Structure 1
Amino acid sequence: MQSDSSKDRLRLWLKVLKATRAVESEIRESLRQDFTTTLPRFDVMAALNQHRDGLKMSQLSGVLKVSNGNVTGIVERLVDDGHVQREKVPGDRRASRVRLTDEGVEEFARQAAAHEGWIDQMFDTVPQEQVQTLSDALDKVAKQLESEGRDG
């Protein structure tokens, strides 16, 4: 028999999932309308922005937790747009390293600033004193699952 707290946690999960899907949908639409880009492209640029020296394609896939095949097409489009450059890895003729170009850094900065504004606006109904509490609670869940080796 399930306890009331168990049912409350299930309802919490469903609300987190619903909110996540709604926020992601809004972000996807805003990126499409405001920047003619996609969330996966934004995610690739965000990862490369965090690793300014660049990443091998396999490392990029690992950071994003997606397959190499998924990343390859996205990187190709970003190269075509002039936002990412690809270079050979010395001593490994099959591997290439990708990094943001100067133009890519500038474009990502524009997109990231808009993204932050969208998130701020979407979460402005959450009272400031609850923001850290909610953040800490979700962080506890993630850390618990990571420590148990269940982070995907």
Structure 2
Amino acid sequence: MSDPGTEDVEALVRDEPAGSKMELRLWLRLLSCANLISAEIRRRLRTEFGVTLPRFDVMAQLHREPDGLRLGDLSRRMMVTNGNITGLIDRLVDEGLVVRAADPADRRATTVRLTRAGATMFRLMASAHERWIHEMCGALPAEGVGRLLADLDTLKRSAGAAMREPD
């Protein structure tokens, strides 16, 4: 279940002379793996908990901040618009998983936090999420996971450095 076209591009890149497109092949493989895992996580969250991945992500952010977050801070953390966050929060409030409160430091701002029921539901989902990730990565040996993490840290630093370099 990969993205349409990803396999076609990988096939074209594979036909290039050895070494000439290795970074492109790496990027396509990373994208393909991320898309496969994400699609399966989305499916399982929907099937087992009736929750979307964005709702899970909102609850994860709120779980990290038991005293709550301002809506603007939450939207920045999730890199989505305030409108998207408002819609997600509305549904979570309706289900009794999140509560809104006026921010004591700024009464114009709203703070949201998980309810006790929301925290309990999130812990159940997070536990299942961790099992699913372990299952999907189960074919990798422990030492391979360590090497891959180290290599991806290096890749992340390299990508970050390239973003800061002027053209």
Aligned to 1:18: 32
Task: Identify if the C-alpha distance between structure 1 residues 124 and 46 changes in structure 2 by more than 3 Å, giving closer, same or farther.
Answer: same
Aligned to 1:38: 52
Tell me which of 138, 141, 146 is aligned to 1:124: 138
Question: Equivalent residues in 2 for 1:52-91 (5 A)?
Answer: 52-90=66-104
Query: What's the offset of the Cα at 1:6?
Result: 5.0
When normalised by structure 2's length, the TM-score is 0.82
Tell me which of 49, 61, 74 is aligned to 2:63: 49
* Alpha-carbon distance in structure 1 between the residues aligned to 2:153 and 2:81: 25
Q: CA-to-partner distance for each residue in 1:36-66, whole Å, 9 max, x for gaps?
A: 0100000000011111111000000111111
Q: CA-to-partner distance for each residue in 1:55-79, whole Å, 9 max, x for gaps?
A: 0000001111111111111111111
Secondary structure class of the residue paired with 1:98: strand
72-81 vs 29-38, greater mean Cα deviation: 72-81
Aligned to 1:105: 119
Task: Identify if the C-alpha distance between structure 1 residues 87 and 12 changes in structure 2 by more than 3 Å, giving closer, same or farther.
Answer: same
Q: CA-to-partner distance for each residue in 1:84-139, whole Å, 9 max, x for gaps?
A: 11100135333100011111111000000000011011111112211011112112
The percentage of counterpart residues that share the same residue type is 45
* Alpha-carbon distance in structure 1 between the residues aligned to 2:90 and 2:20: 46
* Alpha-carbon distance in structure 1 between the residues aligned to 2:65 and 2:25: 38
* Alpha-carbon distance in structure 2 between the residues aligned to 1:149 and 1:12: 18
104-113 vs 127-136, greater mean Cα deviation: 127-136
* Alpha-carbon distance in structure 2 between the residues aligned to 1:68 and 1:140: 33
Could you tell me which runs of 5 or more consecutive residues in structure 1 were left unpaired when the two chains were aligned. Answer: none
Could you tell me which runs of 5 or more consecutive residues in structure 2 were left unpaired when the two chains were aligned. Answer: 1-15
Larger radius of gyration: 2
Secondary structure class of the residue paired with 2:21: helix
When normalised by structure 1's length, the TM-score is 0.90
